[in-house]
A and B are shown apart, each in its own frame.
Chain A
Amino acid sequence: MPPAISVTDLSKTYASGFQALTGINLEVKAGEIFALLGPNGAGKTTLISVICGLVNPTSGVVLVDGHDNIRDYRAARARIGLVPQELTNEAFETVWNSVSFSRGLFGKAPDPAHIERVLRSLALWEKRNNRLITLSGGMKRRVLIAKALSHEPTILFLDEPTAGVDVELRREMWEVVRGLRESGVTIILTTHYIEEAEEMADRIGVIQRGEIILVENKQTLMQSLGRKQLTLELLEPLVSLPNALSDYPLTLSDDGQALVYRYDTQQEHTGITGMLEELRKAGIQFKDLHTEQSSLEDIFVNLVRENP
């Protein structure tokens, strides 16, 4: 089975001379949820636009399920559903007509039952006869998703899918996306809600200044780049750290009530056992302890900072 998306040496320089993408190589496996993270202007939307045929690449090759997206554009594009970032639509059309139009445009025979399923799954069924211009922002976003799903794509691009969507609805949309993945649809999403990537993605790619700086399984990424900290809440406040503990990366909180121990989960020896042994020897007792793991957001911020 070929990868859902395979991008080789892709570069894009706009007519203005702005180089939006530089030598992108990327593979998205069939059936996974791939999250593309990057700061504003990093090239996320340009990359999606090139894959979907909205922007001409300067050089490089894009294969969609093994089909060249330029030479064999019909086969490539028929597999893709695209949900753009901007809320764009035909304003005066009704939800039903707009979604049915998309299905026809992609060359599929009319299937009212499928359109109904899609509209119901996105809580749009009640609004099917409303004109798009009368809908709220969150509903317009869902109409765009419905349009993308109308032609039963096997690969779905979601460019900032939950921007401007309230928290409850966002959770519902995640459920829809998970449901799609279960039915075998490959999903590529860009997001600036890192929580979203953390929640949804199987793999994560980070793009920075038009270059992919990292592609990794989410679990591996969070383990390998994640830092942990152990906080010990002391029974008796300390004025200073005992000398025996000075070799450990320990810090004493300002009020002397807590000790914070930072360690890297990548290391084989985290030194926790030794540190606790020394604490016991020094007669320091603690009433509680907890650990915190850095979130994907921290990892992302660090990565982007390290690759200026």
Chain B
Amino acid sequence: MNLRGMAAIYRSEMARTRRTLLQSIVSPVLSTSLYFVVFGSAIGSRITEVAGISYGAFIVPGLIMLMLLTQSVSNASFGIFFPRFSGSIYELLSAPVSYMEIVMGYVGAAASKSILLGLIILGTAGLFVPLQIAHPFWMLLFLVLTAFTFSLLGFIIGIWAEGFDRLQLVPLLVITPLTFLGGTFYSIDMLPPFWQGVTLLNPVVYLVSGFRWSFYGVGDVSLAASLAVVVAFLAVSLAVVSWIFRSGYRLKP
């Protein structure tokens, strides 16, 4: 194991976060706060309770998930895309580090940042609405698993993307719509039966539901289903990453 190599990647990625503090921490916190003001306080005051929880509190887990998914993907994808783009990836590929060490360095840093962000947003949310966390262990587990899984997805996108436009494509066209339609702002039993069925095909529903369950003890789907979807997603992402490195896809001609 080249632990020092892995740590070097991790540290340099975290240093990048510090250099770009404004966009990487401050702006997601600001935009989440705006969601609370608009949906939580302004509109939320007109909405009755959802599943026995005030609307403002109800959307907290969904909002954290929304940020967790988009930030994990965009941070991890940029982290590996930039060295590819600038050419400095030569150093990574010629160094005595294994593929897993490279992935752990990049994905670990991206996930750490997302987790940190999630906790900051959670703290921010506490300023707007009264919060309760029924199952803190599960809450952290979902936070960590989701952050790693979607950072892996971001890593894959960063290797696949051939330009900055593609880098934005997946977060914009896939992640954001899936999250908005994934029960972030509503409980899916508020939908007509047909759309409820369609929604169940959306993996984000399971993430939001599981995460919300860890807060309030209620979810749209069972805890087991939520956990199974996260783990399945993680397994698929790991398989794709290991295929990328074995085949040298977009990395080694």
Interface positions of A (Cβ within 8 A of B)? 14-15, 52-56, 73-78, 80, 82, 84, 86, 88-93, 97, 101-109, 147
With A and B bound together, what is the CA distance between A219 and B16 in angstroms?
50
Given known contacts A104-B7, A107-B4, A53 and B88 CB-to-CB distance under 8 angstroms? no
Q: Which residue on A lies nearest to B12, using beta carbons?
A: A101
- In the complex, the answer to whether A107 meets B5 with C-beta atoms within 8 Å is yes
Is the pair A52, B94 in contact by a Cβ cutoff of 8 Å? yes
Give 21 pairs: A residue, B residue, CB < 8 Å, sorted on A: A14-B253, A55-B252, A55-B253, A56-B253, A73-B96, A74-B98, A82-B90, A82-B94, A86-B87, A88-B87, A88-B90, A90-B88, A92-B19, A101-B11, A102-B91, A104-B4, A105-B8, A105-B9, A105-B97, A107-B5, A147-B91
A91→B15 CA distance, assembly (Å): 13
Residues B88 and A77 in contact, CB atoms below 8 Å apart: no
Q: Is the interface of B mostly helix, strand, loop or mixed?
A: helix
Q: Is the CB of B253 within 8 A of A109?
A: no
Contact of B23 with A by CB under 8 A: no
Q: Range of interface residues on chain B?
A: 20 to 34
Once bound together, how far apart are the Cα atoms of A80 and B93, in whole Å?
12
Query: 0/1 per residue, B72-103, Cβ < 8 Å to A?
Result: 00000000000100111011111111100000
The 10 closest A-B pairs by CB, nearest first: A104-B8, A88-B87, A74-B96, A77-B96, A107-B2, A52-B94, A78-B96, A105-B95, A88-B88, A105-B8
A106-B95 in contact (CB<8A): yes
> Using a CB-CB cutoff of 8 Å, which residues 78-137 of chain B contact chain A?
83, 86-88, 90-98
Cβ of B193 under 8 Å from chain A: no
Output the least CB separation between A144 and chain B (Å): 9
* B residues near A86, Cβ cutoff 8 Å: 87
List the A side residues contacting B12 at CB < 8 Å.
90, 93, 97, 101
Query: A92: which B residues are within 8 A, CB to CB?
Result: 16, 19
Segment 1-45 of B: residues with Cβ below 8 Å from A: 2-5, 7-9, 11-12, 15-16, 19
Taking a contact as CB atoms under 8 Å apart, the answer to whether A84 and B83 are in contact is: no
Q: Establish whether residues A105 and B5, one from each chain, have CB atoms under 8 Å apart when the complex forms.
A: yes
CB-nearest residue of chain B to A159: B90
Evaluate contact between B93 and A54: CB separation under 8 angstroms.
yes
